[in-house]
Amino acid sequence: MKLSHKNKIFCALDFTELKQTCQFVERIKENVGGIKVGLEFFFKNGIKGVESLKKYNLPIFLDLKLNDIPNTVSRAARNLLELEPEYLTAHLNGGIDMIRSLVDIKMKTKIIGVSLLTSLNDNDLKKFGLEINSKSYVEKLSKIGYEGGVDGMVSSSIEVKDLKNKMPKDFIFVTPGIQLSNTNNDQKRTSSPLEAIKNGSSILIIGRAITNSNNPNQTLKEIISQLEENGN
């Protein structure tokens, strides 16, 4: 099913305090397709914190990047899957057995494999001792994910452009590292919302550009308008 422009946008809620998070979601809920919560929020608020966000009736992207031996991941994930988040992430470099252990118990939740963090690039891979560029590395991980049965994967729009035609039509490409301007931050493989959608991204994860905005709803409306004007 093709998502509307608004529903392609998930706001990354990189807050720690539950009250602040809920206040922000209440503020933007009419102009966003979903919300993403990660380690910062989860380590402070846990499962009860995620339950508190369900009242907004927005799809929840639970970005915990699970990565451990298969038995540990599957046992831990059972508790998370009871929350019925729309999406749950796991690192593809955990291996195909770990991925399958998660896919086998996923119930309603879509499992999204994390490829190479957008804070890393070719130089980082060389430091790891890997003589491979980021595009090739992500492609190898995508094969592990596909064979393991994931519903989609997280990667920069740079890799999505190459992978889009190699995956089933309903495969979900989630792209973080979305920037509205040339801003110095900790991400290296970035793109604009329009670039990401043109390259084939299904869902855009946008954090600081929204959460640090003086008018987050206006920022969201401008992103949606840009996508609509360009027919994406």
Question: Which residues are part of the catalytic machinery?
Answer: 65
Which residue do the tokens 């959460």 mark? 211
In one letter, which amino acid is 55?
Answer: K
Following CA atoms 108, 142, 181, 122 in sequence, which dihedral angle do they give, to the nearest 10 degrees? 150
Q: Given CA atoms 81, 84, 85, 87 in this order, what sign does their dihedral have? A: positive
Closest CA to 116 of 64, 156, 69: 156
8 Å CB contact between 202 and 173: yes
The set of residues, in sequence order, having a beta carbon less than 8 Å from that of 47 and lying 6+ positions away, is 79, 80, 83
Q: DSSP assignment, residue 119?
A: T
Which residue do the tokens 């954090």 mark? 207
Three-class SS of residue 94? helix
